[in-house]
Amino acid sequence: MTTKSLLLPIQVGNNTLKHRVVLAPLTRFRATDKAVPTDLQVEYYRQRASEGGLLITEGTFISLFAGNYNRAPGIYNQEQIEGWKKVTSAVHEKKAFIFLQLWHVGRAGSKKFNPNNEQVVSASDIPIKNAVNYAGGYEYEQPRALEIDEIKSIVQDYRQAALNAIEAGFDGVEIHSANGYLIDQFINSSSNKRTDIYGGPVENRSHFALEVVAAIADAIGPERTAIRFSPGTPYQDMHDENVIKTWSYITNELQIRHPDLAYLHFIQANARYREDGHQNTNDSLEPYRQIWKGPFISAAGFSTSIDFAFDLAEKTGNLISFGRAFIANPDLPERLRNGWEINKYDRTTFYTHEAVGYTDYPYFSARSE
């Protein structure tokens, strides 16, 4: 019997994966109030590790000023590094691989999370409109546009966070440049009205993202560097004047400048993964696959569209990242391999702080006994 492409090996950076089922980065708020990873997180990632599988962690703050949502983790001090070492050790014991997602939320944060109530920052002084932040239930605030020297400093924060991740034992890092967070705020034309080298045409709006990639690739190697994008995704008031042109330009620049990156990770536009039961069969990512020659991860909506995930992997050879299905099924790769039933997830426990809905989902064998 022919093995489905989703379950075939692939080389990702320095790592030979045994299948293409990836744990998507998922904010879960199980760290301490000092942003230190907990034993609960160790168990969560250990459960979802499979031999030759790839896990991507939840978004992890690169500095004290990068967002600091309560109970989300960081990677900017030694206590956090030591906490993450326990996670990477647990994952590696199961012969799996794990990348850390590097996160700065920009205008999606709140001054109440900053040490001295500092104003939130962004590409421009444009707030997110008509929305409430899921991390704290507060209305979004007016951001302050970053000065050029501050942008340069944040690039260095990303670089140091990547070095910290390697010290913590991670196999690589994924730069979060999606979902309306800081780097995405520079890329999208609706949130970036700057008139300097970081604003205006796409060549300028992508400058920050490309600087971060270059700094990290130089620090830890391109084969341990990856980045995630969400072209055309409206979450957190994101809009761009020419989606395909913008992200095609960025993808092409990465192909030219950094062809040996571990992977590019793209989120399907309008996959509506926040709507339970919606089945996505829309693929919006083909323009970028045509440009990028390295490993490509497709994301969003596959947890409720398993057949579509298999079909897309067959058609493209892509890795597929799963969020909700992996939350509820720690043994998801084996369930997909064997056609076993998929546990249902409980959305009400996604952003709580306990083991319930986090580490208590059963393996197939445990549930079937």
What's the Cα-to-Cα distance from 284 to each of 120, 300, 312, rounded to whole Å?
32, 11, 12
Q: 65 by DSSP, 3-state: which? A: coil
Q: Nearest CA to 15 among 53, 64, 59, 57?
A: 53
DSSP element (H, E) containing 58: strand 54-61
Report yes or no: 268 and 321 within 8 Å, Cβ to Cβ.
Answer: no
Backbone torsions φ then ψ of 283, nearest 5 degrees: -110, 115
Q: If you write DSSP's letter for every residue of 86-130 in order, what string do you get?
A: HHHHHHHHTT-EEEEEEE--GGGS-GGGSTT-PPPEESSS----S
The two structure tokens encoding residue 88: 């990477």
Q: Position of tokens 């899921």?
A: 134
Angle at 124 between CA 119 and CA 125, to 5 degrees: 50
Backbone torsions φ then ψ of 274, nearest 5 degrees: -90, 0
Q: Tell me the CB-side half-sphere exposure of residue 181, using CA atoms within 13 A.
A: 20
The residues, any chain, with a CB within 8 Å of residue 20's CB and separated by 6 or more, are 5, 6, 7, 8, 10, 313, 318, 319, 320
The dihedral sign for the CA sequence 243, 247, 248, 250? positive
Annotated catalytic, 345?
Answer: no
The two structure tokens encoding residue 46: 């250990």
Report yes or no: 192 and 108 within 8 Å, Cβ to Cβ.
Answer: no
Tell me, what DSSP letter sits at residue 251?
A: H
Report yes or no: 129 and 183 within 8 Å, Cβ to Cβ.
Answer: no
Active-site annotation holder among 181, 288, 358, 361: 181
Which residues are marked as active site? 181
